[in-house]
Structure 1
Amino acid sequence: MALPAASRRAGHRVVLGSLCVTLLIVATFAMTCGAMHLSAEDVFGALLRRMGGKPAQADDAIVLTLRLPRVLMAALVGAALACSGAVMQGMFRNPLVEPGLIGVSSGSALGAIGVIVLGGGFGAGLLGSFGVTIAAFAGGLLTTALVYAIGRRRPDAATLLLAGVAINAISMAGIGVLTYMASERQLRDLSLWTLGSLGGTDWIRLVAVAPWILLSLLWLPIHARALNALLLGEREASLLGYHTERLQRLLIALTALATSAAVATCGVISFVGLLVPHAIRMMWGPDHRLLLPASALGGAILLIGADTVARTVVAPAELPIGIITALLGGPFFLWLLMRTRTSGVRA
């Protein structure tokens, strides 16, 4: 029996409010952890002094310069990957789909590794210090555009996914060639990039990437009702008044924009776009009016937590964050594969 609209909206507010509180707690805890342990009072004191224009204390630079931009970047990237995964799973009606299947991650990796190997090293080359980031961002967008151009020749989701698989394979072949050509130093740089890391985060990179991710995160929930209609099938969505081809084109563009920006900044971080939206769907259902914002918050929580583990578990060294997310996502994916039919997402 369906819940009344008022009760459903109240339930959504409770879920989102709980996730926001959890995000605040996890973010605060993350900023207390590190080589120098700080208390929550130290963290909030540094923030309040900065906002109030009061003189900074000794530990404020640790919070404001090192930990705060890193936590904000983790939140943005986690939200982008998880929300994009929720959109892809709804659009293709398949809980095993994630943004990388349409070529974003492999295209970004190819662009970044191309600059690392052919441009003289990490961050070097003709594009300047942001060369790897710019090349990865452009590579993800171009690869997604190519996948869509091939897949749209037949108006069905399966063709688009198959085109993505083919382009992913070609991109991985190109990455293999570049890896073979790389020097020892370049191999270290590209291996760190392909495993994902938030270690190079600063305010400049955060400000550069935030608008692209926020644009997508704010725009995607507007189409939650259309995604709910797509769960019934493309024909049914068309009968309900939605232009499915135009809708798919817009959704793919927005997810490619968010995912390319995330991967270009932090490298390849796996399984966030698969694990989070499916877990949210299992707990609170497939309604995208809740699923999209809840996935964004859940992705932010997961990646902040994973980054905290990555930078503290082997301190003073740092694990690539992709290892942490793979350790979480791999077993979850196998469990999901064994219990879920791949024919579609149930409405």
Structure 2
Amino acid sequence: MQSALVLQAVTSPRLRWLWLTPLVLLSALIAGTAIGETRIPVETVLKVLANRLWGAGYPVDRIDEGIVWSYRLSRAIVAASCGAGLALAGVVLQALLRNPLAEPFLMGISAGASTGAVAVTVAGIGAGAITLSMGAFAGATLAFGLVVMLAHAATGGAGGGRGLQAAGAIILSGIAGSQLFNALTAFIIAKSANAEQARGIMFWLLGNLSGVRWEDVVLAVPAAVGGLLVCLWHMRALDAFTFGADSAASLGIAVRPVRGILIATTALVTAVMVSMVGAIGFVGLVIPHAMRFIVGSRHARLVPASALAGAVFLIGSDILSRILVPGQVLPIGVITSLIGAPAFALILIRGTGAR
């Protein structure tokens, strides 16, 4: 039944644009590979890909081939995966919490994942038995659990009758959780890291794609694709959750298991992305809102549109981070904030005017 709904949604006339998704994504990946500190012609990029994937044997400069294959292509793929994953996390959180401001960065999930990653790499927690992603996942889960418990305590378990109060409590709890885990991260760095480690970690915490390689692609792509499939499988439940847990239960949704699966997926995807590129804000907030203006609020359209837009947005932000300041690569979190903050202000103003 569920698979039939997914197939029907994807093949509906209003979703025919989805068949353009591979072309749009491929174009963005090629642009992310060709544009940078040193511009490489698209023709050269295509020749390198043909040589590497199919052994075409085109004559290509070895330096250009190394830049394209060993540096930029893997970076563009990880950027696309992170953008899609964070956008999907924003879609899920906004539906589950019925709060338009919910997203991994604001809800403390990114801060918790950063704390977990830093605790493993700098403080040595786990003595090598815990991977970076496992530490980030533990931190993300702990942060989100703390935020939810704090919001629940602040509202006394308020539901639909005091929805506005509950929504405000969630946001305030998320801000408090973010500050707490950011402080813990700073404490761990100050206590356990040397000056060189501290400088590298602080740059990474602002969002940094410079160190990603093909090993990261193997982790990022499955996380993003898995998150997308989970969201598509539960798109009916996400539609129901936007009207509240009681409405979802009345429609036959198993509220607790489905909510647990979606929250675990959100925490895992966020943790994987943060463990590779650091905390990147505004992607999970701005992209879902922008896509609602374009494709509407039904999750059959919103989920794939947000994933695609998030991927393209982060690839574009990464390009800007490499070309805005000659000879210097900016943290990608700086670019997403510079773009995301005005964009969200515009969306907020337009939304208020529409009402």
Q: Confirm or deny: 8 A CA contact 1:105 1:140 kept in the other structure.
A: yes
Determine the C-alpha separation between the residues in 2 that align with 1:7 and 1:99: 27
Deviation at 1:25, TM superposition (A): 2.0
What is residue 263 of structure 2 aligned with on the other side? 252
Deviation at 1:116, TM superposition (A): 5.4
What is residue 98 of structure 1 aligned with on the other side? 103
1:200 aligned onto 2:211: yes
1:318 aligned onto 2:319: no
Determine the C-alpha separation between the residues in 2 that align with 1:180 and 1:49: 47
Determine the C-alpha separation between the residues in 1 that align with 2:324 and 2:106: 31
Deviation at 1:217, TM superposition (A): 1.9
Determine the C-alpha separation between the residues in 2 that align with 1:188 and 1:310: 19
Determine the C-alpha separation between the residues in 1 that align with 2:141 and 2:220: 14
Q: Confirm or deny: 8 A CA contact 1:116 1:190 kept in the other structure.
A: no
What is residue 186 of structure 1 aligned with on the other side? 197
User: Superposition pairs for residues 197-236 of structure 1, below 5 Å?
Assistant: 197-236=208-247
Which SS does the other structure have where 2:234 is aligned?
Answer: helix
Q: Which of 201-210 and 303-312 deviates more?
A: 201-210
Q: Which of 296-305 and 169-178 deviates more?
A: 169-178
Look up the equivalent residue of 2:104 and give its one-letter code: P
User: Superposition pairs for residues 1-347 of structure 1, below 5 Å?
Assistant: 9-14=12-17, 16-55=18-57, 57=60, 58=62, 59-115=64-120, 117-119=122-124, 126-127=127-128, 134-147=134-147, 154=157, 156=159, 158=166, 164-181=174-191, 183-338=194-349, 340=351
Q: 1:311 to 1:7 in 2, by over 3 A?
A: closer
Deviation at 1:149, TM superposition (A): 6.4
Determine the C-alpha separation between the residues in 2 that align with 1:197 and 1:106: 15
Q: 1:95 to 1:262 in 2, by over 3 A?
A: same
Determine the C-alpha separation between the residues in 2 that align with 1:113 and 1:288: 35
* Structure 1 gaps, min length 5: none
Which SS does the other structure have where 2:325 is aligned?
Answer: coil
Q: Which of 267-276 and 173-182 deviates more?
A: 173-182
Determine the C-alpha separation between the residues in 1 that align with 2:9 and 2:20: 18
Deviation at 1:178, TM superposition (A): 3.3
Determine the C-alpha separation between the residues in 1 that align with 2:66 and 2:218: 18
Q: Confirm or deny: 8 A CA contact 1:151 1:160 kept in the other structure.
A: yes
* Structure 2 gaps, min length 5: 1-7
Determine the C-alpha separation between the residues in 2 that align with 1:300 and 1:6: 21
Look up the equivalent residue of 2:212 and give its one-letter code: T
Which SS does the other structure have where 1:286 is aligned?
Answer: coil
Which SS does the other structure have where 1:95 is aligned?
Answer: coil
Determine the C-alpha separation between the residues in 2 that align with 1:21 and 1:152: 44
Deviation at 1:99, TM superposition (A): 1.9
Deviation at 1:213, TM superposition (A): 3.0
TM-score, with length taken from structure 2: 0.83
Deviation at 1:145, TM superposition (A): 4.5
Deviation at 1:132, TM superposition (A): 5.0
Deviation at 1:324, TM superposition (A): 0.3
Q: Confirm or deny: 8 A CA contact 1:89 1:96 kept in the other structure.
A: yes
Q: Confirm or deny: 8 A CA contact 2:318 2:332 kept in the other structure.
A: yes
TM-score, with length taken from structure 1: 0.84
Q: Confirm or deny: 8 A CA contact 1:116 1:186 kept in the other structure.
A: no
Q: Deviations over 1:258-277 (max 9, x none)?
A: 11111111001110001111
Q: Confirm or deny: 8 A CA contact 1:137 1:263 kept in the other structure.
A: no
Q: Deviations over 1:182-216 (max 9, x none)?
A: 54323312220111011001011221333333222
Q: 1:7 to 1:189 in 2, by over 3 A?
A: closer
Deviation at 1:91, TM superposition (A): 1.8
Q: 1:162 to 1:253 in 2, by over 3 A?
A: farther
What count of residue pairs does the alignment treat as equivalent? 332
Q: 1:211 to 1:151 in 2, by over 3 A?
A: farther
Deviation at 1:222, TM superposition (A): 0.7
Q: 1:150 to 1:243 in 2, by over 3 A?
A: farther
Identity %: 37
Cα-Cα RMSD = 3.0
